[in-house]
Structure 1
Amino acid sequence: MATLSNGLVSNGLARLLRNPPLAFGLLILALLCLTAAIGPFVTDEALARVGATLPRQPPSAAHWLGTDSQGRDMVTVLMLAMPQTLKIGLVAGLISLSVGVALGLVSGFAGGVADTVIRLASDVMMTIPGIAILVLVAANVREMTVAIMAVIVASLSWMVTTRTIRAQTLSLRERGYVQIARLNGSSTARLVFVEILPNLLPFIAASFVIAVSNAMLATIGLEALGLGPQKELTLGTTIYWAQFYGAILRGMWWWWAPPILLISLIFIGLMLTSVGLDSFVNKRMANGS
């Protein structure tokens, strides 16, 4: 068993190394997630409160990234904001992915009325300007939280996943092994979850990365407009307060540049991972597997 496990790990690492975009993307995301996980435990949360230190201090030995106009230590702010930003993206991505995969499977496998209704619903939703709805809803929520924002974004981002999974399901259900399983009396549940769903995993993984990326882009945009969580720190709200207090005009680069850099790293990691997964999926399709 140990030899088999080592062989699988070695084979997996070899495949990963043959796909540099995927390897670098996963490495960047892993380092960011690790930093986000340990950050709140190695920083003093009190330093992120208004008036905790002297305001408008440049980077120094005491405050590595300086302080903002409200007297908050920027390193602490970033360490507490990054987990919340990643949480919004992951939660919204998981919700939209779950809805999209479920609807795509039903639409592609069942066909008929179910396919027509789901396809029309996704087409209609894709024609509606999502950012306008997001701004309208976010502006009228009494108290915005990370969880509420994730649900709002997810409710408007399931359509692409639905269309992708539907198209692949339509193709897979006509494959020979699925037809043989159907003739052998396999139930609908077995056909979907045993014969079709495992072959969709690469597409689901790629869709998840895209869903997380789109969710984070939408939420950061809302937060930069001042429509983000009121009581929870995020990278987007940090940028909002920086522009609200004129950090750029005051030359306080340590207030706005670090959160922008972290956001850029997150999107670079997601982009590289998406490119790597897309290459992997295309190779599978070319090989007919």
Structure 2
Amino acid sequence: MKRLFLELWENFKEYIVLVVLIVASLLALTFNENIAVQKVRAAAFGSFAGVTSVVSDLISIAKIKSENTRLSEVNAELMLQVNMLRQYGIENRALKELLNFKDSSDYPLIPAIIVAKSLTRAQNTFTLNVGSKNNVSRGMPVINDEGLVGIIHSVSEDFSIVRTLKNQELKLTVKDERSRIDAVMKWNGENLVMINVPKTHDVEPGDRIITSELSSIVPVPIPVGVVLKLTDVERGIFNEVKVKPFVDFMRIQHVFVLGIVESRQKNNLELNFYNRD
């Protein structure tokens, strides 16, 4: 033990002497009643207290920043969880509406999910997760609980492609629900329009537009949209009627394929006619 102390003394004697002197000085300052010493001691303790306070504040700020960072992370995680639950709720509500729609329909409906969208100015198409093995055929209408989405254009075993109403290749015969006026409707790259509507025909803004029974492409009346306005009113003998579709093509996810093709021969003839330039 003595040898250990000797080794410590030999190696650290300068530090040991310094520590002893510092302790002795502090004790002397503490117990010395001299006025000058008391002033020095007060100033030293005041400075030490100030430094301690600053250090304490810095530590507190660091702790607060760390806590804020942690809470921000927790809030972000909660936001993601709440948003996920909200999405589940929205999807659940949408599915319930679609199921109620399916239960109330008198026509065979094939439920489908849009797995891909090709949204261009002229050629809007959707890809569905149903195909020929689900009894889907070319020419079948695609709908949701709001109205007509489009027409099945091509079919594989597991998937099918829909030409939506916002596709220049798709033209449909539609009807003004109020006045019973028929017209051809197409997408002009910017709007759905009913073309070559005589000015003498009774069509007004706000009228509901549905599919016409004159069309074999969509052999049942399905809501399409509402008349926004009439253009080319001042010239020529025809009006062009702008139609706002009921379906939100950007947000739509779940659809039904209306599993009927009323007349295959007539349907193919009409599809080929309307698909010509």
Judging by fraction of residues, say which structure has more helix. 1
- Rg larger for: 2
Q: If the TM-score is normalised by the length of the shorter chain, which range does it land in?
A: under 0.3
Q: TM-score, normalised by structure 2?
A: 0.19
- The two structures have a TM-score, normalised by structure 1, of 0.18
